[in-house]
Structure 1
């Protein structure tokens, strides 16, 4: 039996970057968490400790900061493409560069004052090879809740089932969504805003008989609204809300007072895609 080295990569994870653009008295702020992962002809460092093909991860970190100064940052997809193409073009031994970015939003309070927005995080994962690129945008931690227009009944029951059917329940989730673009040249800011609006619009507008139904509606709305997107992948945790029993206090609870559950929770995951979408360059499940 032979033992061989399998797929591998290395890089610099979570380089924190804050870029201030000082255009007169009005400043702009970009706050990113940038991770770089490179793969290719790198077996020697694993097998013999030969580092002649290893670009130090410290160099990757410095490249992120230097590019932020030399080129600016702009939209995270554009910055990730710039970094990924640089590493593949300048390092012959590197065949694939994967750049992952978390973007933290700040709301403007004045010309040079900001307040950090905490309701969700924008994400970007760009994969670059010598011949192709793949751009995946997304959002994580987008908490949504419908206080009605949600049911759940008609499910399988066995001897371990205790969950009662529900005809009027709270539906809440923290959306973790990714969407793969058809190309690498689009208005990234407009595309992200449009996809985010579509996700929210579908959640609000869907009378839900299951969180699975809501997931499909959200993905379908994104693809309908944004022709530049090939497919959408979503992970929706079911943020359970349990009705509190107030009968011991001689009080009726008419679907008004709930316990917000923490864990365990149901987790619904799925993909909504165009039937003619080209295959992915690299795996990009959540």
Structure 2
């Protein structure tokens, strides 16, 4: 028998970083996973832990890097953790560090931003992923998980294949909603990761909101093209969008019409649309 693959590390390392600049504070909360590959075969095959770093040690490295690098963007933070793990342990061949950001928005009172009070942003989480190899190979990805948006018109579904199994009627005016999973691969680092990520999201939403959608497929491709045009540092963007259906309620039995006004929400089953757009 042969050990074909192995990796291990620490998951769900939750760390809150508070950067204090006088009375004004900044917060960043990350949930980190750090996974290692390398010379750990004996722990799997011979019950020999002598070349294996404890997962608790991996957690400690995450916390120490957080203390030393309070202001780093998630992508740069993941890179710093990966670099520390590779530099500290000669048996580590690659370190893959992923961070999901819990976003906190500064609370405004009487129209003024509060220096140290925040509210939780509930729409999706930002994601950063860094894979670093001892030989120098490096990939950096950013993205969003569970970012949800909809529009109430300017969306349709028509001219599709129809056969004896088809029951869905065509429409040129429907609600379009999704909870998007998206990631983009950096060809080179931008000057500012948060600013570049914000431009990508803005470009995606602008296409979705301001242009007619012939399908989620149609919108995703054009959204991806817009993101690549907006931020030249990214090489590819991948999007996975479940079609969160809002179905028109039949009120005819009550003698009432329903001119795209009342819908029932259902996300099971849902259409699942995915694509990757590159240069």
TM-score range, shorter chain: over 0.9
Q: Which residue, out of 258, 264, 268, partners 2:269?
A: 264
- Cα distance in 2 for partners of 1:101, 1:186 equals 20
TM-score, normalising length: structure 1: 0.92
Shift of 1:184: 4.1
Q: Which residue is 1:5 aligned to? A: 3
Whether the 8 Å CA contact 2:39–2:93 is kept in 1: the answer is yes
- Cα distance in 2 for partners of 1:111, 1:185 equals 28
Deviations along 1:68-117, one digit per CA (max 9) or x if unpaired, are 11222420011000001111122111111000001111111211111111
> For the aligned residues, what is the CA RMSD?
1.2
Helix, strand or coil at the partner of 1:183: coil
Q: Which residue is 2:178 aligned to? A: 173
Whether the 8 Å CA contact 1:27–1:111 is kept in 2: the answer is yes
Helix, strand or coil at the partner of 2:242: strand
Cα–Cα, structure 1 residues 4 and 186, in superposed 2: closer, same or farther, change >3 Å?
farther
- Cα distance in 2 for partners of 1:257, 1:123 equals 35
Q: Which residue, out of 187, 192, 197, partners 2:192?
A: 187
Whether the 8 Å CA contact 1:206–1:217 is kept in 2: the answer is no
- Cα distance in 2 for partners of 1:268, 1:214 equals 10
Whether the 8 Å CA contact 1:35–1:100 is kept in 2: the answer is yes
- Cα distance in 1 for partners of 2:268, 2:14 equals 31
Helix, strand or coil at the partner of 1:86: helix
Q: Which residue, out of 54, 66, 69, partners 2:67?
A: 69
Helix, strand or coil at the partner of 1:77: helix
Whether the 8 Å CA contact 1:135–1:180 is kept in 2: the answer is yes
Structure 2 residue 123 is the aligned partner of structure 1 residue 125: no
Helix, strand or coil at the partner of 2:209: helix
- Cα distance in 1 for partners of 2:159, 2:11 equals 46
Shift of 1:267: 0.5
- Cα distance in 2 for partners of 1:259, 1:157 equals 25
Alignment of 1:59-138 (within 5 A): 59-109=57-107, 110-130=114-134, 131-138=136-143
Helix, strand or coil at the partner of 2:196: helix
Alignment of 1:207-222 (within 5 A): 207-222=212-227
Q: Which residue is 1:33 aligned to? A: 31
Q: Which residue, out of 162, 171, 183, partners 2:167?
A: 162
Q: Which residue is 2:278 aligned to? A: 273
Whether the 8 Å CA contact 2:19–2:71 is kept in 1: the answer is no
Structure 2 residue 150 is the aligned partner of structure 1 residue 145: yes
- Cα distance in 1 for partners of 2:48, 2:199 equals 48
Q: Which residue is 2:53 aligned to? A: 55
Aligned positions, number: 272
Deviations along 1:212-254, one digit per CA (max 9) or x if unpaired, are 1111011111001000000000001001111000011110011
Shift of 1:14: 0.8
- Cα distance in 2 for partners of 1:36, 1:112 equals 30
Helix, strand or coil at the partner of 2:220: helix
- Cα distance in 2 for partners of 1:218, 1:168 equals 20
TM-score, normalising length: structure 2: 0.94
Gaps of 5+ in 2: 108-113
